[in-house]
Structure 1
Amino acid sequence: MDEGDLTARNLARVQDIYGRYAQGDRSALYEALAPGVTWTSIGEGALPWAGTRQGRAGVERYFGDLDAVADVAGYEVEQVIAQGEWIAVLATVTVRHHGAGGEHRYAKADFIRIVDGMVADFREFYDTAQACRDRARA
């Protein structure tokens, strides 16, 4: 398979996963995880969900830690950029921190590596300082 075909196939896969996730279907994401997936959210030590997790169980812990302190109220994909195995997703996520009494929007960038149709590596970047300030108000 040439790189153009690989890019197109991986782009379609990520768009499907994100589309279903944005509609509240987290199972689509779990089903797409490679057994040895590495899942990284910046802000380790500052935010309860942040850090690097391994495997599906690690990703489920990430979401469990996130769900314990916040609700994802919205997810809007703005731009998707793809090359080969790597996909970059620019998005805005709307979050309600439990007890904060309001919604907060964060611009974020996700980098996903797709291998054989499965998510092998996920890295998310966003304004962790703002997320910490918003959580402190909760």
Structure 2
Amino acid sequence: MKIIKYFTVAAFIISNACAVNAADKTEKLSKSELEKVLINHTYPLGGKTLKKSKGAMYFTDNGELEIVWEGAKGKGKWKADNKSRFCYTQSLWGGRECITLLRNNEDGGFVHIFDGKKRMLVEGAIEKGRKL
């Protein structure tokens, strides 16, 4: 019985240590931090870098958005919030979508979360300037 208690305590300690480390790997961004990352930058869609993506979004400082997806071009509006998230509407497939963007403290770059799926963006993947 004592052995089971020791294993249970050890498993609890190890699982908590892993949870703490996992939380340290990413960091939420404030609205102003998100705006700094996105405004006047081109964001890859569907890949880890612009060169390996199916499309991209370009963000302006007045809330305008340009988007390219598999060769089709569109326009839209975007807005960041204080929940490490930016939301947008655009003319290609319509509707409102939101992306959570977390800073990746382990490998650099960012963690992109959309529709419950994570995608790693390497450091430098969000490029300065309009590169559509």
Shorter-chain TM-score category? Answer: 0.3 to 0.5
- TM-score norm. by structure 1 comes to 0.40
Higher helix share: 1
TM-score (norm 2): 0.41
Instruction: Please tell me whether Structure 1 or Structure 2 has the larger radius of gyration of its CA atoms.
Output: 2
